[in-house]
Amino acid sequence: MIFRRTEEKDKEQVISLWREAQAYFREQGIDQWQDGYPDEACLDLDVAEGASYVLEDEGRVIATAFISFDGEPDYLHIEGKWINDGPYGVIHRVAVAGDVKGRGLAGRLVEEAVAMCREKGAVSLRVDTHQDNRSMRRMLTKNGFTCCGTIHLTRDGAPRVAYERLI
């Protein structure tokens, strides 16, 4: 299994993972990613910034995430408190193919992001998710994240549960 930056050739597979996640959320009654986000324009920007990553297994993209160290405007205001005020990385848009869920791939993406944090001198990794996204919340707790409070997305004001993990 290879962790690497997303390439142009991967875009269709990444979009497919996002669409699969959107369908899963809809089936579970989770109001996350139900407005068309993330979309191809979002992916184009992520790839152009060099912040989109995939896990590839035998030529197939089986998981994806956005990892950045440019800060997150949505995290400027939190109802609660971040653990640390130092430099941080963010991980967003995590999606894993349904037929390989349960193999720890989201955790692998987190560990890759943590390794990148160490390389970049970030002291923590931050992430947010929908209140009802229990599988993501379990994964975050399992992988050493602490719930810090609630943030609100700039694009639509939706509340999200915010987590942070010290590196």
Q: Are 112 and 3 in contact (CB under 8 A)?
A: yes
* CA nearest neighbour of 68 among 23, 113, 104, 107: 113
- Is pLDDT at 87 greater than 90 in this prediction? yes
Number of domains in the chain: 1
Query: pLDDT tens-digit profile of 15-29?
Result: 999 999 999 999 999
Strands of 28-121 (E only): list them: 52-57, 60-68, 79-80, 88-96
Q: Where are the beta strands (DSSP E) in 28-152?
A: 52-57, 60-68, 79-80, 88-96, 124-129, 146-152
Q: Across residues 147-161, what is the average pLDDT? A: 96
36 pLDDT tier (thresholds 50, 70, 90): confident
Sign of the CA dihedral running 85, 6, 140, 18: positive
User: How far apart, in whole angstroms, are the C-alpha atoms of residue 158 and residue 48?
Assistant: 26
Q: What is the pLDDT of residue 123?
A: 98
**If you average pLDDT over every residue of the chain, what do you get?**
97
Task: Assign residue 149 the CATH number of its domain.
Answer: 3.40.630.30
Nearest 10 degrees: CA dihedral of 72, 74, 76, 80?
A: -120
pLDDT tens string 89-109: 999 999 999 999 999 999 999
pLDDT at residue number 132: 96
Q: Which domain holds residue 157?
A: 2-166
Omega prior to 73 cis, within 30 of 0: no
Is the sign of the CA dihedral 75, 161, 148, 138 positive or negative?
negative
